[in-house]
Structure 1
Amino acid sequence: MAKEVLQISIIFMIFIGLFLVTMQIVSARNLKKTKEKIKVLQEALKPGVEVMLLGGIYGKLVKLNKDTALIEIADNTEIKVDRSSIQAIVKN
């Protein structure tokens, strides 16, 4: 009886280990895809492009610096945001 319980426990531990390894692989692949998507977005940014910020605010990119961006959200209304807060380029 004890021998059977030990065998079942070992099989269960192997199953848990395989599950954890699989989850790590899937997580790493998703992280790589997300980083690539962000890189492509950041490279496509240029003044005059319509963008959407993380908070759902839409505006036109006026100026782009290394870490920040100036976004015009209305006539004569510009906000300075972190460059990473730009979520998407709006396609008209």
Structure 2
Amino acid sequence: MDDDLDAMSRDQLVAEVLRLRTAVRAHRDTSGHDLCWHHPDLWATLPERVEPDIAVPPWPRFMRGCVAHRQSLDEQAPDAAVHDAEHDAR
């Protein structure tokens, strides 16, 4: 699956690492309501172009997952700043 790396020069590999680090940092630095969205830009850093086969839980289970995710943030980042803004559904 990652055979493309075998043909890359050192400079190309360094450029690839920097491109991937940039994508991971952008994902890491997501905050506020953006934490809740899927991130096709991150998936697009992979060389294989596939349409993600996502499955979405029914609303009650989905909302329980959102609550669990938010609770885990309270446990893992108890001192995180509060982003007290409504979601902008542009």
TM-score normalized by structure 2? 0.35
TM-score, normalised to structure 1, is: 0.34
| Higher strand content, 1 or 2 | 1
Larger Cα-atom Rg: 1
Using CA pairs below 8 Å that are at least 6 residues apart, which structure has the higher relative contact order?
2
